[in-house]
Structure 1
Amino acid sequence: MPGVHRQFINARYPECVSIQGGGTPMQFSADNSGQSTSRKRTKNFPIRKLTARALAVTLAFFCAVNILALQPPARTTRTVVTTEKIPYSVAYQDEPARYRGYTEVVSAGIAGEREIRSQVVFEGDRPVKVLSVQSTDTARPVDQVVKRGTRVLRSETADGSRWVSSFIRPLKTGWLSADFYDYPHHNGIDLAAPHGTPVYAAAQGRVVLAGWYGEYGKCVIIEHADGSRTLYGHNSSLDVSVGQEVKQGEKIANVGSTGNSTGNHLHFEIRIGSSFLDPLVYIDK
């Protein structure tokens, strides 16, 4: 019967190789070509059944993993603590002896600090809902104290509750590139404009300087009837001379980049005595 069984297997599964009687599982008979197949693995029926079973188990495992991956992560509630700065305010001290546009910082301001504690619901590492927010000021801000002039120039006129300046903008084109006191010792404003742009007198007056003036390069200074002076610096060329009377809006120079300058612009100042006034208080930007 064993021989019949072996013949049945060989006939039913010709690709399989039978085991010789008395041999070990690694000793196989010769195949149909007569060549040795002692190292050839068998493809018998039990191995096929085992492979199908392993495939089914593998598929079931990956299905379970995918199902778990589709489930949302667990929700947790955490306390999140952050801080933010509290801006300081500016407290002004009026100086009647100083003209409008004069400012002086007496003491610097100090920003405060606020702690914010929030109860936040997370799904995994993703915040999904804020339950509550509580803030506590841990440091109060300190005001900046600034002196400012309130005295009115003689050339200004009253218009209801405000004063109207007698100055006009010295350029008809261009833009503000640096503000009053944008950096240390910057006592005026910078109006950027192309090289050669006409510069006009901001008010009627007499020219007291027309020429090279140190870091201002080619410069014009005009003295006005109210005692104030206007300065026009970094010009490429000048159209007036010392002692000349000029009218408001009269062309006096051309924009350039002479002196301590990095590009074409007009440096414009308003002075009275030893004080420098913010030109933007008196002219339009």
Structure 2
Amino acid sequence: MKIKNMGSLKSMVRRQQVKCKTHLERLCRIGANRPGAQSGKELIRTLAGKTVQAADSLFHLAGMAGVMVGEGLQKTFGRTASHLAQQGHSVLGRLEEARTQYLLSARKEKRSRVPACAFLATATIMLFSATYFGIGVEVWLDGQSLGFVSSKEDMEKIIDKVEERTGGYLGHPYTLSADLTYSLGYMQPDRLLDETEAEEALFAQVEEVSTQYVLSVDGQVIGVNPSKTALELLKQRMLSAQVGQDENAQAEFVQDVTIEQMTVPTSAVDSIDEIELALSGEKSGTKVYAVQQGDTLSQIAENYGMTLEQVQGLNPHIDPARIHVGEEITLQNSEPLLSVKKTTTVEYTQEIAYESEVQYSEELYENESKIVTEGQNGVAQVMANVVSIDGVEQERTIQNWEVVQQPQNEVKVVGTKEKPTTSSKGYFIQPFRGILTSPYGYRSRGFHTGVDWAGTKGSPVVAADGGTVIQAGWNGGYGYCVIIDHGNGLQTLYAHNSALLVRVGEKVAQGQQIAKLGSTGNSTGPHCHWEVRVNGSPVNPMPYLS
């Protein structure tokens, strides 16, 4: 039904109101002469008046609202809204039809008054629907509605954000392949799409990335696994391997080992065995070594498990044949990726070193000493905390020290009496300043037990050190010979002399003349044959010369 203007609508409503009022008055006059009818009549008349007024207002408002909503939507949403405007006019038609039905039913006395209530409810619902609902784009994901957006472009922006986010995790561009569909429909304000929820719903469709637990060492990612519990157990297992059966030991990682939940490429997931193998590996690094006395480049390379070529490759500026003390050489080294620090309490016994007590005596010459009481180490029971890294001890802290056996100090007596000039000074001087003609050792005529110095016959031969003459005379092939005892098992022999100036038992001082150079015995010319004997056996005398 088409209504031309609001004036004609209002006129029609008023005419029907008059008819309805007249009809209700006739109904109220029925039985007016009966008892109690006057009061009942008054009540019914009041209710009827109120009902007619309400109906009049609802008719008027519903008609105006339907037309206004339809025209407004037509301007805003085009064809779809135009359809709604037509529906607004249709609302007026339905209202008019409902009003007519009501008037017809009101003429029947025995008919129920329920249609009047139904009419009012229908009018109210239609008016609310026309003002509350609007037209929008409904978004569907896998057959489930996500909500409404103003336009499809709004949803495309959310998709772009999901693709950019996913590409950031994968390291390359990504295109979303979710099953999205769109449809036009009535849009309620509480059904508007939440951008954050929509983004998370779309991101949940991406199979190429997932939320996993990431194990890192000092910020370096080592492995990815879906089970946090499995990663925690792996850490505990590696620590327990270092502790062993030691109930007093505690272990911790030197590095910062973390397990965090992160979004990562699904392809990055590792098995626990793979992660354990990675944690057991080593990391490479470099160190600088300062050349020490006696080092060679090849020996340095061998000590650090490298080849000479590898060392030269790291140090192209170094000449392998000319390295010098203090020069710095770069070397490769490796260390465990994950180190374990172990702290344990240990109990053990430890020796207590004895001390030496010095006493002085005038009965002994200077630089002479003797032990009068032997020293003996003591014993202590020790409790200590020992800190080690990968089995190498780093620190030991004593917690308790209990002496079980006291040490016995050594007592040493040192002489203070001034030594005579004839006493041994502990070192030798050369007995004759001549030309060395025959060294100690093998030669053509056999083994030579001393050294020979040639010179002019009659030249002075002196004592190499102070001591006591134990031989002075002819001694076979040695000719005229002198032997001096210097104490401590040391003796010196002087042979082939032309004359002797000391006697047996005489004390001689270092540098004192004891004979004259000669060529007696088995000799081919004037020379001094000199020997050094230790406990009776000849030794090379040259190292004893000062």
TM-score (norm 2): 0.24
Q: Greater strand percent: which structure?
A: 1
TM-score (norm 1): 0.41
Q: Greater helix percent: which structure?
A: 2
